[in-house]
Amino acid sequence: MLILGLDPGLTHTGWGLIEAAGGRLSWIADGAISTRAGTPLPERLAEIHRALCELLLAWRPAEAAVEHTYVNRNPAAALKLGQARGVVLLAPALAGVPVAEYQAMEVKRAVVGSGHAAKEQVQEMVRRLLPGARLSRADAADALAIAICHAHHRESRAAIARRAV
């Protein structure tokens, strides 16, 4: 099953694609969708949406996972990030791809074992869990971590469901 992890951002939206087969994870691809700061907000949001639609069409993931956004001290920045996050949630939903959401601490706990892990620790564990991953940028590494978190949660839910039957 292909899982698309998405790390929302207005300047850089990270994406990472993994294959999950049981408890085995494999890196498929990663990258970032980047927009320019001087471009009007509607155009930046449209650019993110178009790029996500192309990704979804090219790879056809079975599920997607998105990180919740932390609240920023700057209300204007938080609002813009929230709008980008809305686009990131909308694109897979419109494509019929189920979308799960995870808190940053939940992602870190699933990948590193500690909800307070540093970004460097998360990136190192992503490299270990997904041999061959290129990690094109920090945003892409975060997106892969989100995909890994979703794969772990999904596998745990499946195991619990099997025991309940």
Catalytic residue set:
7, 67, 139
Nearest to 91 by CA among 128, 143, 53: 53
Element (H, E) at 105: helix 104-111
Alpha carbon distance 91, 64 (integer Å): 10
3-class secondary structure for 40-91? CHHHHHHHHHHHHHHHHHHHCCCEEEEECCCCCCCHHHHHHHHHHHHHHHHH
DSSP class of 106: H
Q: What angle do CA 157, 161, 165 make, to 5 degrees?
A: 175
Considering just the CA atoms, what is the radius of gyration of the chain in Å? 15
How many distinct helices (H) and strands (E) make up the chain? 5, 5
